Structure 1
């Protein structure tokens, strides 16, 4: 199959176009794998060997890249809390009584005022230090601190 190098070249170009559109640094490794298979095709390797070489080299390159980024600290190894999720575990202060029956109340956390509720059966009075345990919709779920 003397034309396989053309197919590998077209595949490499297609993967490169996908990479340019997505900018995810994933398709670029399949571009490299396709180019490696193209070279193998020009050297006379069998078609199953070319396909296997393309897949293995792409996966090895992708895995090495991800591990290297993680080791360098560029790619976080676990989910990072952002925005309101970052408030979970923080301490705040009740500025309007948090009443579990009426489902009303407000707390101040990091200088911001949030609507709050508690899952407890007792109301939490103004001035009480609270810990944020959860975010439900736009309300913080709080418990007395300590």
Structure 2
């Protein structure tokens, strides 16, 4: 098999590996192999082919951090677990007292909740979740009565 074909096989193998490990690291060895393939096609000896492969790969590897950080910064941060509930609305299922917690239903789940203004919120009142404090939700009344 001619030298340029071997480098093409190496390049394709690197791209396939990169598909399964999206790190933008192996990809640069694939690009280096393509450039080495070009050198082999132009008649360069094996020493020059390896030199071109190593130099090209080494020159491109520092761009990994820049490219991957740009790719990752485009992702929208997803709130998970209990922090995904902040900003959601629900309704009071058990009266929230001035100093004692009640219960609210948000996203189909029942949570222990306290009022943000430390005022009483009656059962059936629509509320918005302002924050999570430990295992309690801090809510504010939206003033609407919801049928339970």
| TM-score bracket for this pair, using the shorter chain length | 0.5 to 0.7
Q: 1:57 aligns with which of 52, 57, 60?
A: 60
Query: Which residues in structure 2 correspond to 1:38-53 (within 5 Å)?
Result: 39=36, 42=46, 44=48, 50-51=54-55, 53=56
Describe the SS at the equivalent of 2:124.
coil
Query: Which residues in structure 2 correspond to 1:1-146 (within 5 Å)?
Result: 24-26=21-23, 29-37=24-32, 39=36, 42=46, 44=48, 50-51=54-55, 53-58=56-61, 59=63, 63=67, 67=71, 77-102=75-100, 104-145=101-142
TM-score, structure 2 normalization:
0.56
What is the RMSD computed on CA atoms of the aligned residues? 4.0
CA 1:108–1:128 in 2, change beyond 3 Å: closer, same or farther?
same
Deviation, 1:135, is 1.8
Gaps of 5+ in 1: 1-8
Describe the SS at the equivalent of 1:89.
coil
Gaps of 5+ in 2: 1-9, 40-44, 144-148
Deviation, 1:132, is 0.8
How many residues were matched structurally? 118
The runs of at least 4 consecutive aligned structure 1 residues that moved more than 4 Å come to 35-38, 40-43
User: What whole-Å deviation, never above 9, does each CA across 1:110-139 have from its counterpart, x for those lacking one?
Assistant: 322111122313122222111111122222
TM-score, structure 1 normalization:
0.57
